[in-house]
Amino acid sequence: MGILYFLAEGPVRNDQQQECCLVVEVHAPDGVGDRWVQQAAEDIIEDAFGKRLTLWSASKEEASQSLQAEPGATHGYLELRNAVPLFWHLLPIV
């Protein structure tokens, strides 16, 4: 199993209407193509947030830096097809 990280190309609003950076973490089974994971993640994020977002591939270091910088982030969990876990994190942009 591999972990893939993505950052949304633009800001997303949280429940308090603050602009946030969206970090997506997908725990994909071996043999699943990165492109499929990205497309499936974009689809489920659109369903969850009501907004179509392009996700950009990110390294673990890029994602970790964003998450460590904001301990007050909002977190959530979704599942892609075939029960592939997707964790999302909204970090307020200051």
> Which residue has better confidence, 82 or 5?
5
State the pLDDT at residue 69. Answer: 60
Is residue 89 a part of any domain in this protein? Answer: no
Tell me which of 93 and 6 has the higher pLDDT. 6
Q: Is residue 84 part of a domain?
A: no
Instruction: With respect to residue 90, please indicate whether it lies within any of the assigned structural domains.
Output: no
| Predicted structure pTM score | 0.87
> Considering the domain boundaries, does residue 11 fall inside one?
yes
CA distances from 53 to 12, 30, 33, 56 (A): 9, 25, 20, 10
Q: Is the pLDDT of residue 48 over 70?
A: yes
Identify which has the larger pLDDT, 84 or 65. Answer: 84
Q: Does some domain include residue 70?
A: yes
Work out how many domains the chain is built from and give that number: 1
Give the range of the structural domain holding residue 33, as residue numbers without chain letter: 2-77
3-state SS, one letter per residue, for the chain: CEEEEEEECCCEECCCCCEEEEEEEEEECCCCCHHHHHHHHHHHHHHHHCCCCCEEEECHHHHHHHHHHCCCCEEEEEEEHHHEEEEEEEEECC
Confidence at 46, pLDDT banded by 50, 70, 90: very high
**36 within some domain:** yes
> Does residue 10 lie within any of the structural domains?
yes
Task: Provide the pLDDT for residue 70.
Answer: 63
